[in-house]
Structure 1
Amino acid sequence: MVRLSAMQSLLALIRPKGIRLYDVLKKGEQYSVVLSAWNEGETLHFSEGVISEDRFEPIATDTLLAKSIAEGSGCFCGMQGSGYECCIPVLMDDEPVSVFEIQGDKPFDDASIAMATGMISVYRNYLALLEDSQRDTLTGLLNRKTFDTGFAVFLSSAVHLDAELQDDRRSHKEGSHWLAVMDIDHFKRVNDTFGHLYGDEVLILMANLMRGSFRQGDRLYRFGGEEFVVLMRDVDFADVKKKLDDFREKVEQHVFPQVGQVTISIGFTSVMPTSTPAMVLGEADEALYYAKGHGRNQVRCYGELVEQKLLAEKTVHTEVDYF
C-alpha cells in the first residue's frame, strides 16, 4: 500500500510525535476533509474501504490545515494548540487531494522538513503514475482492467449491511450500494454516419457529463466502446433510480456537436457483501438488455424487473456483452 510506505518512511526519517493523513473533498468552492490514516506510536491505522462523502467535515479556517489546502503547495509550519505541526498538501491536476499533517513537540529543523517534502513528493509522483495506469486514455475515466480491484475495495465498505441482506438476495431493491451499466444507444450508427472522430467526441462528452452528474466518491468506468459503469454507495433505491434517470435525461437533452441528440440505456442492480463482479455485472447487464429491447433511452433495475416477473433470475454472466 502506497500510503503505508509513505507513513512508515516519514515516521522513520523524522521521528515526529504524530502523523495524520487527511483526504480532501471539494464541493463547489468549499473544501472538507476526513482523516484516512494516522499513527499511534509506531502503529499505523487506516480507514477501511471507500470513505463516504458524509464523513467529510468542513475545515476550521484558522488552521494550518486549511491554509495548506487554500494555498495548494508548499510546506506550512507553525504552532498549533500546545504543539508544533507542518501541513504538506498533495496535489493532483493542481487540486489538493490529501494533506499530511506532521506533529511535533518543537519546530522541525530544515533537514527534517526537506526530507518530509521530498518523501511526499515521491508519494505524489507514484500516485500520479498509478492514476495514469488506471485511466482510460480517451475519456479519463477508470478503465476496465482496474474494475475487479476497485470493486473489491468498494465491496469492503458494504460489510456493515444488515446480516439478513447478506444472506438473502430475494429483494434486489434493498441495500445502499449499487452498480449501473450504461450503453449509448445506436452508437455504431454515430460512427458510421459521422465518423470515428465525432464518435470519440461523443464518448469524451459523455464522460464529462458523468463527472458532472455523479458524486466525487462514485467510481466511474469506461469498459470500452460505448459502455460505461458506475459504482455508487450509501444511497437508497429511490435516490439511485432518480439519479440515474436524471442523468439519462441530461444526456438526452444535451446537444452533441454535429451529431445532435444521443440517448443512453441504463441497467442497474444492488451490490451485496456476498456479490462478485461477475454476479452484479450479469444482473445489471440483464436489466440493460431489457431496456435495449423495450424502447431504449430508459433506466431499468434488475431487482424491480425480477419482482415484476419481467425477468427471471439469471445465471452469472462473466463478461458485459451488449449489442
Structure 2
Amino acid sequence: MTARDIKPCPQNDADPLLISYLDAIVALTCQREALGLTTSLIDSLCQHVRAERFRLLAVSNLDRNDELDGSNLQGAVVRDWLEPLSVPVPIRYDQDLLACARTKNRISRKLPGMKGRRLILPIMGVGHVTAMLVIEGMRAVGGEDEVLARLLQIFSNQLYLLSRNELDGLTGLHNRQSFDERIKHLVLSAGHRDRRAQSYVAAQQNCLALFDIDHFKMVNDKFGHLYGDEVLVQFARLMSRAFRHQDMMFRYGGEEFAVVLIGIAPEASVPVLDSFRRSLEAYEFPQIGCKTVSIGVACITPGESVDTTINRADKALYHAKLNGRNQVCCYEALVAEGKLAPVTVATGDIELF
C-alpha cells in the first residue's frame, strides 16, 4: 500500500504535499521511527511550500497544570526538535509562540524586514500543545493553510500512535521495548553521520546510564505497592526535570531506569549523574522519607554490540551497589583504575537480558 491508496479528502486527492508526506508515513510508521516522521515532514514542506525557513519547536518543562489547561506557560521552553543539542529558549521570549501554545490556534503575522509572513501552527498532544511548526517568510500561493493544518493533524496522530506503545503506563517514560529498539538503533548507527537528525544524534559521543533505586523492595514490603508506585512516579518526574530534552529516559524494569545521555563523554557524565543522585537523596517521598539510587554508566562505542554496551553499564552499576550504594560508577574509570575487569566484546545478536 502507498500513500496514493489513502484518500483523506476527495477534493484534495492529488495534493502533492499530502501525497509525498503520506508516502513517508506509510514506510516510517512500520519502523516505529518518530524522528524519521519529523524529518520527512520538513522534507515534504521544503519541496512543496515556498518559504525562507522551517522550524519544528518542541515545548518542554511543562508542569502538570500547564499540560492540562495551558494557563501558565511562563516556565516552559522551546527547542529545535531536529537539532538535539540546541539551546532551550524560554517560550515567554516570543509572544507569538506563547500565544500559540496557550490558545492552541495558529498565529500568522507579517514581520518587519521579512518577505512573506510568519506562520506558527500548533502540534497537539493529549490536551496540550507539544510542539509548533514555525514557517518564516512564507509566500502564499493559495490553499496552503488548510493543507498544512491537515498535514500536522496527520503528523500529530502518527506521533501519538507511535508513543502509545512505547511509553510505560505508570511513569510515562519510555518502556523496555522502546529501550531495546532505540539503544540498538543508536549503537548500530554510532559513528555514521548524514543529514538526518537521528544520524546526527548517533554521531555524537553518547553514554548509557543504568539506575537502581536502593532497597526499593523494603518500600513495597513495609508500606505496600501503592507507595512503591508513588516512588517510581516521583523518581521519573525527578529524572525528567534533571535531564535534557534530547536525553532518552526509560523505565528499564521494576525499580530500574535508564538514560541515554546525548553528546556527553563518560568522564563528563559522572558529575551530571551525581547531581541527579544528590537531588534524589535530598527529596522526601510522602510517608517514606528519603531514598537513594545507585548508578552505572558506560560509553556507547561505535561498532560494538548492544549487549556489550548494556553489560558494561550493568557491571558499573553492580560495582556501585556492592561498594556502598548511593553513588555513580563509570565503567571506563573503573577499568582504568584496575577495579573492574574489561568486558569482552560480544558478537552476534544474542540478548543478555
Q: SS of 1:304's equivalent?
A: helix
Q: Is the 8 A contact 1:68 1:87 kept in 2?
A: no
Contact preservation (8 Å) 2:76, 2:91: no
User: 1:307 aligned to 2:327?
Assistant: no
Partner of 2:293: 264
Structure number with the higher strand fraction is 1
Residue 147 of structure 1: aligned partner: 179
Q: 1:250 aligns with which of 279, 283, 307?
A: 279
Alignment of 1:31-70 (within 5 A): 31-34=77-80, 36=82, 51-54=84-87, 66=97, 69=100
1:184-236 C-alpha deviation (Å, 9 max, x unpaired): 11212221121111111111111111111111111110011011001002224
Offset at residue 70 of structure 1 (A): 5.0
Q: Is 1:296 paired with 2:309?
A: no
Which has the larger share of helix? 2
Q: Is residue 179–residue 230 contact of structure 1 (8 Å, CA) maintained in 2?
A: yes
Question: Is 2:144 the partner of 1:98?
Answer: no
Change (3 A) 1:153 1:97: farther
Q: 1:3 aligns with which of 38, 44, 60?
A: 38
Query: What's the counterpart of residue 22 of structure 2?
Result: none
AA aligned opposite 1:133: N
- The 5-angstrom pairing of residues 63-142 of structure 1 reads 66=97, 69=100, 71=102, 73-80=104-111, 81-93=114-126, 94-101=128-135, 104-106=138-140, 108-109=142-143, 112-142=144-174
Q: Which amino acid aligns with 1:121?
A: Q
Unpaired runs of at least 5, structure 2: 1-27, 29-36, 62-73, 194-203
3-state SS of 1:142 partner: coil
Q: Is the 8 A contact 1:177 1:232 kept in 2?
A: yes
Cα deviation, residue 69, structure 1: 4.6
Could you list the per-position Cα deviations for residues 170-192 of structure 1 after superposition, in whole angstroms to 9, with x for gaps in the alignment?
Answer: xxxxx842111011112122211
Query: Which residue of structure 2 lines up, in the alignment, with residue 219 of structure 1?
Result: 248
Q: Following the alignment from structure 2 to structure 1, what is the Cα–Cα distance between the partners of residues 90 and 237?
A: 27
Q: Any conservation in 1 of the 2:118–2:134 contact (CA below 8 Å)? A: no
Deviation of 1:60 (Å)? 11
- The letter for the 1-side match of 2:246 is G
Contact 1:138 / 1:204 at 8 angstroms: preserved in 2? Answer: yes
70-79 vs 299-308, which deviates more? 70-79
Distance 2:231 2:208 in 1: 23
With over 3 angstroms needed to count, the CA separation of the structure-2 counterparts of 1:107 and 1:266, relative to structure 1, is same
Helix, strand or coil for the counterpart of 1:180?
A: strand
**Matched AA of 2:119:** C
Q: TM-score with structure 2 length normalisation?
A: 0.70
**CA offset digits 1:78-119 (Å, max 9, x no partner):** 43522245331213352442315276433634xx42232122
- Give the Cα separation in 1 of the matches to 2:181 and 2:212: 22
Of stretches 289-298 and 16-25 in structure 1, the one that deviates more from structure 2 is 16-25
Of 260-269 and 85-94, more deviation after overlay is shown by 85-94
Q: Work out whether residues 31 and 58 of structure 1, in 8 Å CA contact, stay in contact via their aligned partners in 2.
A: yes
- Scaled by the length of structure 1, the TM-score of the pair is 0.76
Q: Which runs of 5+ in 1 are unaligned?
A: 37-46, 161-174
Task: Give 2:217's aligned residue.
Answer: 188
* Equivalent-residue separation in structure 2 for 1:237 and 1:126 (angstroms): 35
CA shift in 2, pair 1:144/1:208, >3 Å? same
Q: Which amino acid aligns with 1:243?
A: V
Q: Residue type matched to 2:160 in 1?
A: A
Distance 1:287 1:35, change over 3 A: closer
Distance 1:34 1:197, change over 3 A: closer
CA distance in 1 between counterparts of 2:81 and 2:216 reads: 43
Tell me which amino acid in the other structure corresponds to 2:115.
S
Amino acid at match of 1:128: Y
The aligned amino acid for 1:221 is: F
